[in-house]
DNA sequence: TTGGTATTGATAATCATTGTCAATAAGCAA
DNA sequence: TTGCTTATTGACAATGATTATCAATACCAA
């Protein structure tokens, strides 16, 4: 197993974390990079990619992959349970939803099939009211 | 709405369909292209991409996006209900699973939030028994 | 403070996927 | 069947997100 090597606390990492904390929605690495640049930060794009990636692995941020293959990141409130989203595939708006009993159910099912180290993705997408109206 | 323009029945499209029918697992466009080439087909890679894409849109094949952003395609048995999978993230093995009441539940929830044109992804991943054993 | 080393950032490289466009071949009408 | 219109094809260039490279820099433990 990979014993978590504990990342150093750098200026860049701090800035990225506060950007994440300030805006609560899903954005791509490039978008977060833009945000930081507009706040006169000098973080490099590669650094943003690396930070978001490691934060996602350690569970400190949520990550979803869009249909086009882009990865979006969002802050994950501390102490919050693992959760799921209802997302607009047009504008990206996301609402947190609660999937009753899903966790338990998934664990049980996987065990039955002999699977371990579980993970899962539940993504419900659609068109939000605004986007649905403008798509006729 | 986009009125389905009905695709022509070409040699390439037929070959792709039979490859899909012959092997029932999830593979990327490039992998399907390899399969076809090994069967002495001359289909171009771009054509495979285009065919799989249109087949996925019309619901004739299942498509899933992996964590790395790759899109995998698999035949979708005619007459079969929309379904979900338990997939090994190491070797790619997939088993069809039944998610009780999920469809209904998702539709109801989305309606409550005003979302339309629903779609959803439920992917449960883990390590199958074989891969779990070899990963210590 | 200092040394060892993780991190950074500019940029090149990768890799899946899409666009381009002339050549080809469905499918329809006569 | 023949000819014609137009979707489809395929080789290859282009895109776009992400990753690798590597010298310079900055944590942080001693």
Model pLDDT, residue B136? 45
Distance CA B127, CA B133 (A): 9
Strand C bases contacted by the protein (CB, 7 Å): 6-11, 16-20, 25-27
Which pLDDT does position A126 carry in this prediction?
73
**What is the C-alpha to C-alpha distance for residues A54 and B119, in angstroms, rounded to an integer?**
29
Contact list in A for residue B70 (CB cut-off 8 A) is 69
Looking at every residue in chain B, the average pLDDT score rounds to 80
Closest-CA distance, B28 to chain A, in angstroms, reads 13
Cα Rg of chain B, angstroms: 17
Most trustworthy range by pLDDT among A52-66, A104-118, B20-34: B20-34
Between A32 and B126, name the one with better pLDDT: A32
Among B64, B79, B98, B83, smallest CA distance to A121 is for B64
DSSP string spanning A91-126? Answer: T--EEEE--TTHHHHHHHHHHHHT-EEEEEEEEEEE
Q: How many residues comprise chain B?
A: 136
Q: Is the CB of B71 under 7 A from strand C?
A: yes
Q: How do the domains of chain B map onto residue ranges? A: 11-134
| Confidence band for A16, pLDDT divided at 50, 70 and 90 | very high
Strand D close residues, chain A 57-86, CB < 7 angstroms: 69-71
Q: Percent of chain B having pLDDT more than 90?
A: 29
Q: How far is B29 from chain A (nearest CA, A)?
A: 14
- pLDDT > 70: what percent of chain B? 78
Distance A108 CA to C2 C1' (A): 55
Task: Determine if strand C comes within 7 Å of the CB of A32.
Answer: no
Averaged confidence pLDDT in chain A: 79
Q: What is the pLDDT of residue A89?
A: 62
pLDDT tens-digit profile of B76-133? 764 455 667 777 766 666 777 777 677 777 778 778 888 876 767 677 777 777 766 6
> Widest CA span of chain A, in angstroms?
52
pTM of the entire predicted model:
0.69
> In the CATH hierarchy, which fold is given to the domain comprising B11-134?
Arc Repressor Mutant, subunit A (1.10.10)
Inter-chain contact B97–A86, Cβ cutoff 8 Å?
A: no
Per-residue pLDDT tens for A49-103? 999 999 988 888 888 777 778 899 988 764 455 667 777 766 656 777 777 677 7
Give the separation between CA B110 and CA B114, rounded to whole angstroms: 6
User: For testing the chain B interface, which of A52, A101, A126 should be mutated: the one with the most B CBs within 10 Å?
Assistant: A126
Q: Which residue is nearest to nucleotide C10 (CA to C1')?
A: A44
Q: Is A128 helix (H, G, I), strand (E, B) or coil?
A: coil
Strands B61-65 and B71-75: antiparallel
């Amino acid at each position: 197993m990979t014993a978590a090597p504990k990342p150093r606390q750098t200026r860049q990492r701090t800035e990225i974390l506060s950007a994440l904390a300030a805006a609560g929605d899903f954005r791509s690495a490039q978008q977060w990079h833009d945000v930081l640049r507009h706040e006169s930060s000098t973080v490099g794009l590669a650094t943003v990619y690396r930070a978001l990636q490691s934060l996602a692995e350690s569970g400190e941020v949520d990550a979803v992959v869009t249909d086009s293959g882009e990865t979006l990141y969002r802050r994950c409130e501390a102490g919050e349970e693992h959760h799921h989203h209802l997302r607009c595939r047009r504008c990206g708006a996301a609402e947190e939803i609660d999937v009753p009993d899903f966790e338990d159910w998934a664990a049980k099912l996987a065990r039955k099939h002999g699977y371990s180290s579980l993970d899962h993705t539940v993504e419900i997408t659609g068109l939000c009211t605004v986007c649905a109206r403008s798509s006729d």
